[in-house]
Amino acid sequence: MRVSCIAFTERGYALAVRTAHALSDCAQTGEDDPGWDVSVSRGFGEGKADLRAWTALAWEASDALLFVGAAGIAVRAIAPHVASKATDSAVVVIDEAGRFAVPLLSGHLGGANELAQTVARAAGAIPVITTATDVRGVWAVDTWARCAGLAVSNPEAIKRVSARLLSGGRVALYSDIPISGQPPEGVDIASDRARADIVVSPFAGANAGASVRAAETTGEVVPAGETGKPAGVRAQAPAPEPLRLVVPCIVAGIGCRRGACAEAIGEAFLLACGQAGISPSAVREAATIDVKAHEEGLLAFCRARNIPLATYSAEELSQVEGSVSPSDFVRATVGVDNVCERTALADGGKLIFPKLAHGGVTVAFSKVTIKLSFKER
């Protein structure tokens, strides 16, 4: 986790440095998150960072912001950047005496609650957690999603699921991927996607529906003649959309002509996603042949999607097993009869969407095996 830290007094700066060292020690010993990368800046004195500029840069470049000082300073600094719980950075404040560590923003999806607890351990402080599911000991679906590496398609649905659990109700969860472990209290495993409140899948699909419970029916009595129904018949409200958690288990094999731009590649990619019924955020990796490794359009596409690009030699691809669509032209050009399908299969996945050609770009999808567990890391 990349953490940008700023302090506003000498005492606070000393605490920030000690905390950063403690987090680095955690990484070296394998405790907590093994990927801590903490930078510390001064918000005071000589070499003082401009708080507005520092916050803007840290918001874009870091996973979390740690303010050592008053909570009000942090609130005013981050206010212009707060947009959505799905994208906001984690924000934690610790007082300069190192007594309390308080997550201010993105406690679950951004990991601020866990960061506050880790910082508290490192600094000898008390973590002050205020999110309802945590203080009540109720399963937090968004925390589980983050720990499991799942993307949240519709974060506005998190509130409905959490509210149901907090009120003592139950939710139905459907998953296209097996999930090991005992389901949390209040969670039932559904066999029917259309009746699920939570859908875990790499596939987008239409509104998969949600279990409609009597307590949530919001229909009103319809006067006779307005809908063609007899007087006194209730008009059923549409079932609320389920919370959609996207499993990143798809590899996109991509071939392209020389000089193909990022826009053309993106257009073909989205067209393939639409035809395959795959959520774009389910794609964990793009893959291509090594002679395309420096295609700027392909690299720009991967940067925009925030996915890595794997490359394989023609020799490696020729040894990939599986049925592909051969092309003599492609073989004469790059030394192997197919690029997109073979690169999609190269990591051991199963081909689920064959070659689509569009605008000088070819795309194919494979599904790789990943493990999900109800146990949070």
- The residues pairing with 175 across neighbouring beta strands, listed in sequence order, are 200
Domains of the chain: 2-130 (3.40.50.11220), 141-245 (no CATH), 248-367 (3.30.420.180)
Cβ neighbourhood burial of 359 (10 Å; 0-12, 13-18, 19+): middle
pLDDT score at 240: 81
- Find out whether 55 and 64 touch, Cβ atoms under 8 Å: no
Structure tokens at 326: 């051969």
- What phi, psi does 319 have (nearest 5°)? -95, -5
Taking Cα atoms as reference points, which of 333, 331, 336 lies closest to residue 346? 336
What pLDDT, on a 0 to 100 scale, did the predictor assign at position 28?
46
pLDDT of residue 289: 97
State the residue for tokens 């925390």: 143
Tokens 């605490």 correspond to what residue?
A: 15
**Amino acid at position 76, single letter:** R
Report the alpha-carbon distance of residue 244 to residue 367 in Å, rounded.
18
Q: Is the dihedral of CA 79, 83, 88, 89 positive or negative?
A: negative
Does the CA dihedral 257-262-265-267 come out positive or negative?
Answer: negative
Distance CA 319, CA 336 (A): 10
pLDDT for position 47: 87
Token code pair at residue 151: 């993307």
- Residue 365 sits at φ, ψ, to 5 deg, of -125, 140
In whole angstroms, what is the distance from residue 308 CA to residue 251 CA?
Answer: 10
Tens of each residue's pLDDT in the chain, 377 residues = 899 999 999 999 999 999 998 887 765 444 445 478 999 999 999 889 999 999 999 999 999 999 999 999 999 999 999 998 888 999 999 999 999 999 999 999 999 999 999 999 999 999 999 999 999 999 999 999 999 999 999 999 999 999 999 999 999 999 999 999 999 999 999 999 999 999 999 998 644 333 222 323 333 333 334 444 455 555 566 678 999 999 999 999 999 999 999 999 999 999 999 999 999 999 999 999 999 999 999 999 999 999 999 999 999 999 998 889 999 999 999 999 999 999 999 999 999 999 999 999 999 999 999 999 998 65
Task: Provide Rg for the chain, Cα atoms.
Answer: 25
d(CA 303, CA 184): 36
Q: Which residues contact 38 (CB under 8 A, 6 or more apart)?
A: 3, 4, 5, 19, 20, 23, 24, 66
Angstrom CA distances, 76 to 54, 87, 143, 321, stand at 13, 19, 26, 57
Instruction: Give the per-residue pLDDT at 86.
Output: 84
Contacts of 264-268 with C-beta under 8 Å, sequence gap 24+, read 264/297, 264/359, 264/360, 264/361, 265/297, 265/298, 265/301, 265/361, 266/301, 266/304, 266/305, 267/358, 267/359, 267/361, 268/356, 268/357, 268/358, 268/359, 268/361, 268/362, 268/363
| Residues 363, 253 contacting (CB under 8 angstroms) | yes
